[in-house]
Amino acid sequence: GAVVSQHPSRVICKSGTSVKIECRSLDFQATTMFWYRQFPKQSLMLMATSNEGSKATYEQGVEKDKFLINHASLTLSTLTVTSAHPEDSSFYICSANGGGRGTTDTQYFGPGTRLTVL
C-alpha cells in the first residue's frame, strides 16, 4: 500500500529553537496532507490541512505563526515549530490523501515524530 514517511522520528531541542518535521509520500502524489498532534492517552487532534501550492488551513485554536506548514510539492509537506517551548512537546503525525483533493477516506499516515522541548 501507499507509504508515508516522517523525519525525524524523534527530536529533542532546547526551548526557543525551531524544529522542522518533514512528511513525504513515497510512492504517490498527495494533493492534500494533514498534520495531527497527539498528547499521551489522548486522541489525534487535527492541526491543519495543507494543499499543494496553497496556504494551509488551520483548525481553531492552532497558531499559524507558531506552526508553519509548507506543502511545496506533491510529495512533501513540512511542519516547523517555531520558538518551541516545553508545552509544544508532543507526538506529531502527518497523513497524506492520495484519493483526490478534499476526500479523507484514503488517508495514509506517517509513523509520527516525537518532539521533546527542554
Partner 1 sequence: GDSVTQMEGPVTLSEEAFLTINCTYTATGYPSLFWYVQYPGEGLQLLLKATKADDKGSNKGFEATYRKETTSFHLEKGSVQVSDSAVYFCALRRGAQKLVFGQGTRLTINP
Going by the DSSP 8-state scheme, the letter that residue 26 receives in this structure is S
46 binds partner 1 (CB under 8 A): yes
Task: Give the DSSP H or E segment for 90.
Answer: strand 90-97
109 binds partner 1 (CB under 8 A): yes
Q: Which is nearer to partner 1, 2 or 74 (CB)?
A: 2
Q: Which is nearer to partner 1, 36 or 84 (CB)?
A: 36
Task: Say how far apart CA 26 and CA 76 lie, in whole Å.
Answer: 9
Site map (CB under 8 A) of partner 1, residues 56-75, x = contact: ---x----------------
Q: In angstroms, what CA-CA distances link 18 with 48, 88, 90, 115?
A: 18, 11, 14, 11
76 binds partner 1 (CB under 8 A): no
